[in-house]
A = this chain, B = another copy of it.
Amino acid sequence: MKTPLSGKPAASDLETVVSILSARFGNRASTLPGIRQTHANSLTWVAAQPPDIVVFPDTTEEIVDIVKLCALHQVPIIPFGTGTSFEGHVNAPWGGVSIDTSRMNQLLTVHAEDLDCVIQPGITRKALNEQLRDTGLFFPIDPGADASLGGMVSTRASGTNAVRYGTMKDNVIALKVVLPNGEVMTTARRAKKSSAGYDLTRLMVGAEGTLGLITEITLRLAGIPEAISAGICPFPSVQAACDAAILTIQSGLPIARVELADELQVKAFNLHSHLGLKETPMLFVEFHGTERGVEEQAERFGDIAADLGGGPFEWATKPEERSKLWQARHDAYWSALALRPGCKVIATDVCVPISRLAECVVATQEDIKSTGLVAPIVGHVGDGNFHLTLLCDMEDASDIEKCRAFLHRLVERSLAMEGTCTGEHGIGQEKMKYLLDEHPAATLDAMRAIKRAFDPLNIMNPGKIITL
């Protein structure tokens, strides 16, 4: 019995694996520095740790072969979708084989009556919805980036639509997974619900590729709503905006999106997208339903907002106006750069019970101010989840230090409010230390026990989530 991998594999094992994969996959494998670099970390401030080789398989069977080869030589495997994760998920701290699923990007079957579809993991969110369009159905989870669905499953992604449609954990019916020993597991049947044994589907959702590599996904779909209306509403304070969101949800209005932008983020939107908005806390909202239903929801939301001193509530009923609004919201990352050009963005997220959200955001704004940082905030208010787009001068060691200390305080603040260190980005490498703060020892031991049970060699995306 081999012991779990605890660092770089033997050079000879790496060489063997690289040479076998290069020979077998030809131009579907690459050891070029540029390719290896883009398969490390592209969008984040996390230092890139490239893999030794990148392979682009076409089938589950090919992945089985790669995994078996890596298991034999105890070489790390790093699953790769689009590389849009933030916390170092695709880095290869010990080298190894990056398995890029971008060629496995097919929509395999749509079962319109069952409101589900079967896809390959490399298909992206936008490509999927493009292909679904004629069916009258769509996949509602929208994390902003045009991520691959495999990556979205693996990070337990959610985004702006989660308040109505849930997160990835609520929208995956079944998975096909190549386990670290090369066996292929299907986690569930296609029935909408089941009580047949342990919930392996949910165990794989959010496992960040540390328990296996997903090669097929059965997703729940939703009907494209008959009517959609979106709008923006300014508020005198973050507290008032959060209260409006809480009251809206409590009153049972099936709001589809309710996004907070703080005053600095609104300023960034104005700079980047020329929206000409009043620079005050703002809610971006969207309602889905029938024509009559959407109208009623909008009216009620307007009343709630007005009661809290918000307004005027402006509607965008035309699709192009709606798109412009949401494009601005999705460009939060890019727009933030306009506030401090030349800096690197540190995107991070935390999540607290919704009743503590305003308190947490306001305390964070004060911290930003007193630390002298630039960090606009956007929040999925309906979930208590918010994002910081912290701008850091990577040439300035003291700025980096300041940012790190601030991020530490942000997480501690969230944890102190019964929150979590990440609502939707995942642990990756960067939040491993906070996972230890978030859970008691028995919980961490349970996670380690699961990792050991699935991956005794510690070859499946090692150095992420938790160490053995």
A residues at B contact (CB < 8 Å): 111-116, 136, 155-158, 162, 166-167, 169-170, 179, 183-200, 202-203, 205-207, 211, 222-223, 225-226, 246, 249-252, 254, 288-290, 292-293, 296, 351-355, 383-385, 414-415, 418-427, 431, 434-435, 438-443, 445-447, 449-454, 465-466
Contact = CB atoms under 8 A, between A and B. Distances in A.
A190 B418 contact: yes
Nearest to A224: B252
B202 A423 contact: no
A225 B167 CA distance: 23
A293 B226 CA distance: 14
A195 B250 CA distance: 24
Given A354-B192, A384-B191, A424-B193, A179 B446 contact: yes
A169 B200 CA distance: 12
B250 A420 contact: no
Contact of A226 (B167, B252, B421): B252
Contacts of A114: 353-355, 384
Contacts of A115: 249-250, 354
A191 B420 contact: yes
A384 B423 contact: no
A384 B355 CA distance: 36
B423 A195 contact: yes
Given A170-B170, A189-B419, A296-B292, A155 B202 contact: no
A196 B422 contact: yes
B203 A353 contact: no
B199 A427 contact: no
Residue among A197, A207, A223, A249 with max Cβ neighbours from chain B (10 Å): A197
Contact of A427 (B185, B195, B252, B443): B195
Given A115-B249, A184-B440, A445-B183, A198 B203 contact: yes
25 contacts: A111-B355, A114-B384, A155-B195, A156-B193, A157-B195, A183-B442, A186-B439, A186-B443, A189-B420, A192-B353, A192-B384, A196-B439, A197-B435, A197-B466, A198-B203, A198-B206, A198-B207, A198-B447, A200-B446, A203-B450, A223-B250, A223-B251, A252-B288, A293-B293, A446-B454
Nearest to A350: B191
Given A157-B195, A186-B439, A198-B446, 7 more contacts: A113-B250, A114-B384, A189-B438, A191-B419, A196-B439, A202-B202, A450-B450
B193 A158 contact: yes
A183 B447 CA distance: 14
Given A252-B223, A385-B193, A422-B195, A449 B440 contact: no
A430 to B, nearest CB: 12
Looking at chain A's contact residues, the main secondary structure is loop
A230 B70 CA distance: 58
A205 to B, nearest CB: 7
B418 A156 contact: no
Given A189-B420, A190-B418, A293-B293, A427 B196 contact: yes
A250 B354 contact: no
B353 A185 contact: no
Given A113-B246, A252-B223, A449 B453 contact: yes
B293 A169 contact: no
Contacts of A193: 156, 158, 162, 167, 351, 383-385, 420, 423-424
Q: Which 8 A-B pairs have the closest CB atoms?
A: A202-B202, A183-B442, A113-B355, A194-B420, A453-B453, A449-B453, A185-B442, A223-B252
A170 B201 CA distance: 13
Contacts of A446: 179, 185, 198, 200, 454
A113 to B, nearest CB: 4
B250 A194 contact: no
Contact of A442 (B136, B184, B419): B184
A9 to B, nearest CB: 24
Contacts of A415: 189
Contacts of A424: 193, 195
Contacts of A205: 199
Given A296-B293, A454-B449, A423 B191 contact: yes
A176 to B, nearest CB: 10
A100 B54 CA distance: 55
